[in-house]
């Protein structure tokens, strides 16, 4: 149960390692009023430059949550974007539907536990 002020901290990973400079995505899951949201920001690989303003992170509210799946819907500038995490055993599938410069971008990634 997530209560007011509760947060899951410390989730981050490096993206676009095949491109010069790379990108780090850092996120938290936190209670925001009556809802639970995934709040994230992007930084340069050296963490010295932020893409989003410190007062304007990307916010995705929980739209659905059950024992194996959580789906998030984008809020504000991310309205119309969606992310879903689905766990099957040791595998975690991520599906993201985003809008970049007016174009739809579909992302599917599969994660597994280290050592599996």
b/e map of 32-42 (b: 16 or more CB within 10 Å)?
eeeebbbbbbb
Please report the pLDDT score of residue 26 as a whole number: 86
Number of neighbours of residue 44 by Cβ within 10 angstroms = 13
The model scores a pTM over 0.85: no
pLDDT in tens for each of the 116 residues of the chain?
555 555 555 566 566 666 666 788 888 888 888 889 999 988 887 788 888 888 899 999 999 999 999 999 999 999 999 999 999 999 999 999 999 888 999 999 998 877 75
What's the per-residue H, E or C state across 84-114?
A: EEEEECCEEEEEEEEEECCEEEEEEEEEECC
Query: In the CATH hierarchy, which top-level class contains the domain 7-112?
Result: mainly beta
Please report the pLDDT score of residue 112 as a whole number: 87
Question: What's the CA gap between 71 and 61, in Å, rounded?
Answer: 8
């Amino acid at each position: 149960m997530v209560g007011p002020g509760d947060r899951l901290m410390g989730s981050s990973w490096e993206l676009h390692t095949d491109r010069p400079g790379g990108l780090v995505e850092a996120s938290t899951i936190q209670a925001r009023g009556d809802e639970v949201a995934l709040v994230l920001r992007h930084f340069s690989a050296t963490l010295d430059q932020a893409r989003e303003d410190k007062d304007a992170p990307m916010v995705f509210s929980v739209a659905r949550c059950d024992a194996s799946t959580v789906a998030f819907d984008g809020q504000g500038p991310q309205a119309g974007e969606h992310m879903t995490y689905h766990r099957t055993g040791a595998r975690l599938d991520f599906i993201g539907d985003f809008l970049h410069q007016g174009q739809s971008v579909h992302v599917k990634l599969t994660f597994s536990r280290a050592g599996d």
